[in-house]
Amino acid sequence: MTDRSSEDARIIADSNRRDPLRPYQHEGVSFLQASTSALLADEMGLGKTVQVAVAVRHLHEAGVVRRVLIVAPASLLTNWSFELRRWGPDVAVRSSQGLDASERAVLWALPVPITLAGYEAMRADFLPRSPLKQVDLVVFDEAQRLKNAETDTALAARRVPADRRWALSATPLENDISDLASLATILGMLSQGAGDPSLARLLESLQGHFLRRRKADVLPELPPLLSQELPLLLTGRQLSEYQAARSGTDIEGADSLHLLAVINSLKQICNRASDGTSVKLEALLEIMNDPGGGETRIVVISQYTKTLDWLAERIPLRSIPYVGTMTYSERDRALEDFQKGPTPVALLLSLKAGGVGLNIPDATHVVLFDRWWNPAAEDQAIHRAHRFGRTLPLLVYRLRVIDSIEDRIVEISQDRQRLFDVVVEDSLTESTSATRGWSRDELLRVLR
């Protein structure tokens, strides 16, 4: 499949409308317009949605595309609708958000120029076969959702009948190169059913279809992100409970599910003991005691909602929860309160809820209370605050219990980060240091 044609590469004159885009965004728009298969992997906060909205408007005005399907996490559909109407007010947009199966069936039958759908709706409606005969363009936002080629979501994505296929993801590689291979197959860069490609073949298939820019390179005026890791030692009740839980477990004969359960239990003891003692809470209180001014807005991130509930009762700042069980309207109200309400204030954010659909440029501090398996997930949450609109440096604190499983989790996560840096950040340069996903051997490495 070729990614260029004379028609697609046409520069569309727009002298009557001055788009306030950055130079790198104009480059991204041109890249998308000229591509039938494209992976836009800009670092978070650089406006991938805006670049797609402008490119779609240009192609629609030129008559190159008449019907577009945009698939995104449900929490982002409202923002997509806003940006599309902002940059292309004359192009009709309809969303499947809130519609049941029969209502979506009617939507698919309508000749709407741009249709928005959540991943869940796509998975439900495009299996076993597509309700659409053809679309000119399909866009997959937060495309890391498609990293596992064996899932129904990835299968449904492959079944969308589209002449052009674009994907957006700041983290297209999270575990190993199979993540990229799945995306390349869905985008038509790799043939389906050809088996796992070599790294060299995968990188070759992405050449000319892949574009990534980093904030440090294209936004030199953006205040810096200052990251500090705080090493902590367990003491007292926390230490004795950790040692008892660790020594009382036979790991050598255990399967992966049991190993994960043990690791999860040890991670939670690193957060706090059964009596509430916590070296991490002490460190967090020290950070909050020196907030650096009355306008302090601190984001505290944990993967455990129970930990966030526990913190809400113990921190001195006004606290606002932001977790996955909240409705979208509740989340919107929480964000507005955090960014416009009285300070100092703390947003208690679950890692999963903070992965997508969040924009908090007014945050002054970010604290990672516990460590996740995947550095990309941590970075996604952090970069929700380090983006357009910042006027002050962002202070990031990563709490880490040394001589514990958190040490080993970070070590293995760094392997993944190095792979991402080599394959993605270094312009898809071939590497032989590919790591695998979290195998049973790696789980044992964490516990040993």
CA angle 216, 222, 224 (to 5 degrees): 75
Task: Please measure the distance between the N-terminal and C-terminal CA atoms of the chain and give it in whole angstroms.
Answer: 48
In a domain, 366, yes or no: yes
CA distance 210 to 212: 7
Residue 10 lies in a domain: no
Q: Which amino acid would we find at residue 205?
A: S
pLDDT at 292: 59
Half-sphere exposure of 427 (CA within 13 A, CB side): 1
Query: Beta-carbon neighbour count of residue 14 at 10 Å?
Result: 12
Is the pTM for the entire model greater than 0.75? no
Q: What is the pLDDT of residue 408?
A: 83
Same domain, 427 and 287: yes
pLDDT number for residue 357: 63
Identify whether 90 is part of a domain. Answer: yes
Q: Is the peptide bond before 128 cis (omega within 30 degrees of 0)?
A: yes
Distances in Å between the Cα of 203 and the Cα atoms of 211, 421, 429 are 13, 14, 7
Phi then psi for residue 320, to 5 deg, are: -130, 120
Of 215, 244, 262, the domain-final residue: 215
CA distance 441 to 445: 6
Tell me if 39 sits within 8 A of 80, measured CB to CB. no
Residue in 79, 139, 21, 33 with CA at minimum distance from that of residue 388: 21
**Omega of the bond leading into 344 within 30 degrees of 0 (cis):** yes
- Rg, C-alpha atoms of the chain: 23
pLDDT of residue 332: 87
Range of the domain at 178: 23-215
The structural domain count of the chain equals 2
Which pLDDT score, from 0 to 100, does residue 322 have? 93
CATH number at residue 99: 3.40.50.10810
Q: Which of 215, 233, 255 is the last residue of a domain?
A: 215
- Spell out the per-residue pLDDT of the chain, length 448, in tens: 334 333 333 323 332 344 588 899 999 999 999 999 999 999 888 889 999 999 999 999 999 999 999 999 887 888 899 899 999 999 999 999 889 999 999 999 999 999 999 999 999 999 888 999 899 999 999 998 998 888 999 999 999 999 999 999 988 887 778 888 899 999 988 877 656 777 788 888 888 899 998 887 888 877 888 889 899 999 999 999 999 988 866 666 667 788 888 888 999 999 999 999 999 999 999 888 865 556 789 999 999 999 999 999 999 999 999 998 888 889 889 989 998 999 899 999 998 777 666 788 888 999 999 988 777 777 777 888 877 667 788 899 999 998 898 888 888 777 766 766 666 665 443 332 333 345 666 666 666 6
Cross-strand pairs, 40: 168, 211
* 417 within domain boundaries: yes
Residue 12 belongs to some domain of the structure: no
SS3 for 93?
Answer: strand
- Tell me: do 30 and 175 sit in the same domain: yes
| Rounded Cα distance, 366 and 412, in Å | 23
Q: Are residues 397 and 365 in the same domain?
A: yes
* Within a domain: 405: yes
321: β partners: 348
